[in-house]
Structure 1
Amino acid sequence: MGTDTELYDLDIDRTAGNVARTGRRLVRYALHFKWQLFAALLMLAAAVGTDLAGPLIAKRMIDVHISGIEQPWYMTEQEGPYAVSYGGQLYKRADHFAEGETRGAEARVLQVRQDYYFVDVPVPFDGERTITPEGLLAIAKGTETRTYAAQKLGTGQLYPFFQPEMSGLIQLCVFYFGLLMISAVFSYGERYLLQATANRIIRKMRTDVFAHMNRLPIHYFDNLPAGKVVSRITNDTESTRELYVTVLGNFFSGVIYMVGVFAALFILNARLAAICLFMVPLLAVWIYVYRRFAKRFNQVIRATVSEINGMINETIQGINVIKAFRIEKKTEQDFEKFNLRHFTYKSKLLSLNAMTGHNLVGVIRNIAFVAMIWYFGGISIAGAEGAISLGMLYAFVDYLNRLFQPVVRIVNQLPNLETALVSAERVFVLLDEQGEDVSDQRMERYKGNVKFEDVWFAYKNDEYVLKGISFEARPGQTVALVGHTGSGKSSILNLLFRFYDAQRGRITIDGGNIMDVPRQTLRDHMGIVLQDPFLFTGTIASNVSLGDESISREQVEKVLAEIGGERVLKYLPKGIDEPVIEKGSTLSAGQRQLVSFARALAFNPAILILDEATSNIDTETEAIIQDALEVVKKGRTTFIIAHRLSTIKNADQILVLDRGEIVERGDHDTLMRLGGKYYQMYQLQHGEQELTTVKTGSLSPGIV
């Protein structure tokens, strides 16, 4: 039901080189759609740029149009949109005077707590502001304090000083709203393009994996259960998809966002921006440490998911056996081992994420804010020149908050990053298995002369299951292979089909070495009927033609008629259009075998292989197939593996195998007279009395 650890599936202790190679291969896949990705990243940069303009606009709104009221005001004689009437005089703010324009006496509008005061004299320095009991405005800077006569402004008196800035405020608000709309459009375009491109990348990856699976040799699947292959093609590619959609998007947006924020911070205050740079190496160390701990957890999780899929697939395939032998509890216990391991490592990963997630981000954020308070507060307390404005303070706080948004996104994507890398590596392990391209080369139909010349073959190193096999099957002959289980019968046919290749000797068809012909081309004129036929989801007709457009419906009906299939399939409500579910489980063994037989013959093979084709069917269906065989064998070289010796009595040549060697050969009568292994097997199947008659020569050739 699976192994405790999937060491052959994926080495748990990956090296940095493996990660780098996986990353490069993921980049190569992405480069197939580089223009879409490039467009998505451009849109991302535009969206980030427009979004980051917000604090700078807010800073201008505060410093120029709101806090700008505290700039010096000068008397003027010219009326205009920026001129404000107060106390019978016109005043205009310093930044609204044109170059060379005459300025009168200076005045100031200063805020003390929530109230505003008008001072009609210059104020040389700023500092801590208070109102004395006498109603004077006192400004203290260090040890120096100055007092000014000040008039408190009511709402009606204050509003005219703000009114000239309203048009500027409205323009900035409209501009900011426009930027938000542009950012929303680019964000939508970036997300759509990125996800659409990721879907295309994964589609190509799945296509490549599935196509490569068809190129893999049969022996690869001997060691890797179907459920694990399915897990790689579905689960692992889907996890890899998250790399392109979520991880890539958040990492790129995070990096671009951080670069933009730092650029804005350096524009605002280079010294404090330099202090905040401590987060960059801290984030790099954070990612490195996290991945060292997380990668093993993710590898075990992915391997365990593969084990679970393999076990579920195995359980479904063997559900009849499980129920028949009442091992449901044992199966559940085995499943729970994998389930518990998956839960345990998921919990470990959850703990790691909790420890290194938002808590650590909060610590870093607090450190940055402490640095900002220390820097700006120190300037204010010391009363040094260059004290910051309210707009500057707002912009810094806003940018620092924005700086941690991409940090949080990047940190939150670290689990997905590691999962995606593990999954991608598992996919690439499958893709790296040596395969063979499917050949489109075609060749003329064989005559069907098959020759084995001193063939030796082993599934494992030097454990030969075939030893010095030599024989010849002439065109149109029927060759039967018999022998006890493990004698090498199926191995001979595996070599003929090139499911495996021999270590020594050679096999020829019409004088040509089969090793010189691509596997797919070689099988173009071969047909096979297995002991346990496999039917695909569809209909009986589609299972006969296998979707080959060159095989018409009329040919399907003709082939079924030739083998007598209509006598069995006529009981189906829809005939050859009867639906077939996976493996044809709703059909009887005889019906499945007839469909498999018709499938082999529909392709008009020059070489036909019957591997225990009649062992699992009833006597009536076997009789139908036996009658059909006499017709379909004409013009074909036929190989038959059979335990029922009665089905091969008419074979032109019978090869008796024992422990990988041909120990007897000849037709039925010759081998019976020889009295060797074939005679003994026949005796076991047909009894002493009949065989005694055969041995004395009184049995006619046609009698069983």
Structure 2
Amino acid sequence: MKNPSTERKLLNYALTYKNNILIGLICLIIAVALELTGPFIAKRLIDEHIVGIEDQWHEVEVQDSYTVSYNDNLYKREDRMNSGEDILGTAAIIQVGRSYYFTEEEIQFTGTRSIEGGNVVIETSDETTTAEVRKLSLNELYRFFQPEQTSIYWLLAIYVAILLVAAGFQFVYTYVLQKTSNRIIRKMRDDLFHHIQRLPINYFVDQPAGKIVARITNDTEAIRELYVKVLATFVTSFFYMAGIYIALFLLDVQLALYCLLVVPIIFLWMRVYKHYGGKYNTVVRSTVSDMNGSINESIQGMPIIQAFQQEKHTSQDFEKLNSTHFTYQRKLVRLSALTSFNLVNVIRNLAFVLFIWYFGSGALGAEGLVTVGVLYAFVDYLNRLFQPVTDLVNQLPLLEQARVAAGRVFELMSENGEEVKTEALSRYNGHIKFEGVSFAYKKGEYVLKNINFEVQPGETAAFVGHTGSGKSSIMNLLFRFYDHEKGMIKIDDRPISDWSRQQLRSHMGIVLQDPFIFSGSILSNVTMNDEMISREMAIKSLQAVGADRFIEKLPDQYDTVLKENGASLSMGERQLISFARALAFDPAILILDEATANIDTETEQLIQNALDVLKEGRTTLIIAHRLSTIQQADQIFVLDHGTMIEQGTHTSLIESGGKYHQMYKMQQGAKKQPAI
């Protein structure tokens, strides 16, 4: 099945809240329709109520709201006459320049006008007509406008009301769309974070933490801008332009067709920008991830960087990334600067040249039929047309940035995750069996070869060997951080592959050589916020491993808030908390992966004492370099380059005089070595 495109995936997320989006779009359509009625109202106001007094005026006998008293006669505009109303005579008002003139003759208004003496001369291509006229004073002119005042006020009031209602719908649209956009991003971030927790361990080995963080934070924030700002602008501009084109076609079909040339120009520019902007943004987003990874690594390794005086080298590495980011950001800025504002200005100017040519050469000539109101409406709509065009072009950088960021996010989400099954699993006894197990981190490079051993429930088994012998790999397989290639791993005679990773680990506890402490209190680090583990259980676990000896000296004791990774605690104290964490979950299988390697002898003795009490009914696996810590183990397995070379108790292995005996003698010799 073909993998959906980035745009399709973004649309699918949007469709999750399609009802809200539909409500927003309906409000937008209403707001745009109401707002675009403005020029039509202005056209009506100009043509019918302002310049509309230039018309034939009939002398009437009956006075009403549309009649005007002039020279002791009542006059009524031709388009205000009622059907069947008696006409006593016909006059006209005509504008020449900025002045209005009254004539008692019926005249034509089409043509070139001029005043010669007391006559108006109207010239057309066919004939020239004259009529005796009288110039209207300001007071006299005002009389002819008086019947239109009520209509003018009503139109203005309607226009204001329409603008207020349109503003209300625009507010609802903006609020609903932005609220929905933030909900979409919240869902996307949740999905992304949940997906990350399903990824296998080897993914995190191959990917720097900073790069993953950048995708969850920076890239999703860029996508948020897409939904909140970019798409809002595109949708608004689309409906706004559609409404303007409808209005233009209603006013003048031919000129509206000319204005349609703007659409293919914008489409072509978007294609060009997508090509170049996409390439540049891909580099920019990737470099941001690399920069985050570099910063994260530098902060974590700052003690080493400063201790070995590597500040200059670290800064140079970061500067290379920063320079790459700067270079491609500059290319994006240049691409936008050369086109966004300039492109719209060029199109706008060409449109107005076309507009002037069209009206100047034909429509406003001697035979022209275009009214001042139509002219005003066209100018208004043309001005309005280029605002959404400007908005569209200016959003292209953000659009491409969001598209590239979305591609990176969906690339991460397309990584194969593991099935999550959290159904409760009955506590198993802890009978562990490896049958012919082989495993390789890289295909063909086996780090474990045909491993066979068995640990009975309640036994303590230890694994020893030099670095790289495969001890930790055995624990990784048992925990199913990785899956083995050959053989079978069983717990209670059942293959561990029969359970989900979550079910398998639900009855296992582990303490690593380098314990990880989360931000929060000491108790929250033990309970891991699991409701099944009470405060009392957590305190008991801490006391069992002897951690209460240093905790009770702290100001807030068990509620003491720890810094990131427990920076305020010693390595031994952090290890004790990590050990208590494992014990609090009462695991059937407890794994200590070189847990005592970085702990002083006194703390190690505390752990040994706790283990003696707590290992009853629990299978305990220990990986240790210090052979003195595993002498009481029920079984000791000796590994060398991924193969099992010896197994037995401490006494039997010493008596056999093999590899274990050599390692033991070396450690004993090191202890007896006198201090210099």
- Normalising TM by the smaller chain, what interval? over 0.9
Q: TM-score under structure 2 normalisation?
A: 0.97
Q: Which secondary structure state, in structure 1, belongs to the residue aligned with residue 515 of structure 2?
A: coil
Find the aligned partners of 1:242 and 1:393 in 2 and give their Cα distance. Answer: 39
CA distances 1:123-177 after superposition (whole Å, capped 9, x unpaired): 1242222222x24222222364333221111111110100100000000000000
- The residue that corresponds to 2:91 in the other structure is 107
Cα pair distance change 1:104/1:307, threshold 3 Å: farther
- The residue that corresponds to 2:447 in the other structure is 465
- The residue that corresponds to 1:79 in the other structure is 63
Find the aligned partners of 2:13 and 2:39 in 1 and give their Cα distance. Answer: 38
Q: Which secondary structure state, in structure 1, belongs to the residue aligned with residue 531 of structure 2?
A: coil
- The residue that corresponds to 1:408 in the other structure is 390
Cα RMSD between the aligned structures? Answer: 1.6
Q: Which secondary structure state, in structure 2, belongs to the residue aligned with residue 634 of structure 1?
A: coil
CA distances 1:465-516 after superposition (whole Å, capped 9, x unpaired): 0000010011111111111111111000000000000011110000000011
> Which residue identity does 2:216 align to in structure 1?
I
Find the aligned partners of 1:574 and 1:257 in 2 and give their Cα distance. Answer: 62
Q: Which secondary structure state, in structure 1, belongs to the residue aligned with residue 62 of structure 2?
A: coil
Contact 1:376 1:387 in 2 (8 A): no
Q: Which secondary structure state, in structure 2, belongs to the residue aligned with residue 357 of structure 1?
A: helix
Contact 2:201 2:481 in 1 (8 A): yes
Contact 1:142 1:382 in 2 (8 A): no
- The residue that corresponds to 1:330 in the other structure is 313
Q: Which runs of 5+ in 1 are unaligned?
A: 1-16, 692-704
- The residue that corresponds to 1:454 in the other structure is 436
Contact 1:290 1:356 in 2 (8 A): no
Find the aligned partners of 1:111 and 1:540 in 2 and give their Cα distance. Answer: 91
Cα pair distance change 1:336/1:510, threshold 3 Å: same
Q: By how many angstroms is 1:19 displaced?
A: 11
> Which residue identity does 1:622 align to in structure 2?
E
Contact 1:379 1:387 in 2 (8 A): no
Find the aligned partners of 2:549 and 2:657 in 1 and give their Cα distance. Answer: 39
Find the aligned partners of 2:672 and 2:124 in 1 and give their Cα distance. Answer: 127
Cα pair distance change 1:561/1:120, threshold 3 Å: same
Q: By how many angstroms is 1:684 displaced?
A: 1.7
Find the aligned partners of 2:315 and 2:94 in 1 and give their Cα distance. Answer: 79
Find the aligned partners of 1:474 and 1:235 in 2 and give their Cα distance. Answer: 50
* Superposition pairs of residues 563-602 of structure 1, within 5 angstroms: 563-602=545-584
Q: By how many angstroms is 1:568 displaced?
A: 2.8
Find the aligned partners of 1:18 and 1:107 in 2 and give their Cα distance. Answer: 77
Which of 245, 248, 264 is residue 228 of structure 2 equivalent to? 245
**Is 1:197 equivalent to 2:180 in the alignment?**
yes
Which of 625, 629, 642 is residue 647 of structure 1 equivalent to? 629
Which of 525, 542, 554 is residue 536 of structure 2 equivalent to? 554
Contact 2:94 2:109 in 1 (8 A): no
Which of 230, 247, 250 is residue 267 of structure 1 equivalent to? 250
> Which residue identity does 1:230 align to in structure 2?
V
Cα pair distance change 1:104/1:301, threshold 3 Å: farther
- The residue that corresponds to 2:41 in the other structure is 57
CA distances 1:628-682 after superposition (whole Å, capped 9, x unpaired): 1111111111111111111111111111111100111111111111222111211
* Superposition pairs of residues 167-206 of structure 1, within 5 angstroms: 167-206=150-189
**Is 1:500 equivalent to 2:510 in the alignment?**
no
Moved more, 470-479 or 138-147: 138-147
**Is 1:633 equivalent to 2:615 in the alignment?**
yes
Q: Which secondary structure state, in structure 2, belongs to the residue aligned with residue 118 of structure 1?
A: strand
- The residue that corresponds to 2:590 in the other structure is 608
* Superposition pairs of residues 380-419 of structure 1, within 5 angstroms: 380=363, 382-384=365-367, 386-419=368-401
Q: By how many angstroms is 1:307 displaced?
A: 0.8
> Which residue identity does 2:29 align to in structure 1?
A
Q: By how many angstroms is 1:279 displaced?
A: 1.1
* Superposition pairs of residues 296-375 of structure 1, within 5 angstroms: 296-375=279-358
- The residue that corresponds to 1:235 in the other structure is 218
- The residue that corresponds to 2:505 in the other structure is 523
Find the aligned partners of 2:345 and 2:128 in 1 and give their Cα distance. Answer: 41
- The residue that corresponds to 1:658 in the other structure is 640
- The residue that corresponds to 2:259 in the other structure is 276
Q: TM-score under structure 1 normalisation?
A: 0.94
> Which residue identity does 2:250 align to in structure 1?
I
Find the aligned partners of 1:313 and 1:127 in 2 and give their Cα distance. Answer: 79
Find the aligned partners of 1:689 and 1:47 in 2 and give their Cα distance. Answer: 85
Find the aligned partners of 2:483 and 2:84 in 1 and give their Cα distance. Answer: 97
> Which residue identity does 1:442 align to in structure 2?
A
> Which residue identity does 1:83 align to in structure 2?
T
Q: Which secondary structure state, in structure 2, belongs to the residue aligned with residue 280 of structure 1?
A: helix
* Superposition pairs of residues 128-139 of structure 1, within 5 angstroms: 128-132=112-116, 134-139=117-122
Moved more, 370-379 or 400-409: 370-379
Find the aligned partners of 1:378 and 1:167 in 2 and give their Cα distance. Answer: 37
Q: Which runs of 5+ in 2 are unaligned?
A: none
Q: Which secondary structure state, in structure 1, belongs to the residue aligned with residue 187 of structure 2?
A: helix
- The residue that corresponds to 1:696 in the other structure is none
Q: Which secondary structure state, in structure 2, belongs to the residue aligned with residue 507 of structure 1?
A: strand
Cα pair distance change 1:105/1:689, threshold 3 Å: closer
**Is 1:27 equivalent to 2:46 in the alignment?**
no
- The residue that corresponds to 2:469 in the other structure is 487
Cα pair distance change 1:19/1:139, threshold 3 Å: farther
Cα pair distance change 1:371/1:430, threshold 3 Å: same
Cα pair distance change 1:320/1:429, threshold 3 Å: same
Find the aligned partners of 2:457 and 2:490 in 1 and give their Cα distance. Answer: 13
Which of 144, 147, 155 is residue 161 of structure 1 equivalent to? 144
Cα pair distance change 1:382/1:159, threshold 3 Å: closer
Contact 1:545 1:599 in 2 (8 A): yes
Cα pair distance change 1:99/1:20, threshold 3 Å: farther
Contact 2:364 2:370 in 1 (8 A): no
Contact 1:551 1:602 in 2 (8 A): yes
**Is 1:377 equivalent to 2:360 in the alignment?**
yes
Find the aligned partners of 1:106 and 1:335 in 2 and give their Cα distance. Answer: 88
Cα pair distance change 1:381/1:635, threshold 3 Å: closer
Q: By how many angstroms is 1:380 displaced?
A: 4.5
Aligned length: 673
Q: By how many angstroms is 1:574 displaced?
A: 1.4
Find the aligned partners of 2:565 and 2:412 in 1 and give their Cα distance. Answer: 26
Moved more, 618-627 or 371-380: 371-380
Find the aligned partners of 2:128 and 2:211 in 1 and give their Cα distance. Answer: 81
Q: By how many angstroms is 1:104 displaced?
A: 3.4
Q: By how many angstroms is 1:18 displaced?
A: 10
Find the aligned partners of 1:395 and 1:19 in 2 and give their Cα distance. Answer: 49
> Which residue identity does 2:244 align to in structure 1?
V
Find the aligned partners of 1:533 and 1:236 in 2 and give their Cα distance. Answer: 31
CA distances 1:389-430 after superposition (whole Å, capped 9, x unpaired): 100000001001111111111111111111111111111111
Contact 1:66 1:162 in 2 (8 A): yes
Q: By how many angstroms is 1:571 displaced?
A: 2.2
Q: Which secondary structure state, in structure 2, belongs to the residue aligned with residue 459 of structure 1?
A: strand
**Is 1:126 equivalent to 2:94 in the alignment?**
no
Contact 2:53 2:93 in 1 (8 A): yes
CA distances 1:425-477 after superposition (whole Å, capped 9, x unpaired): 11111111111232121111111100000001000111100000010011111
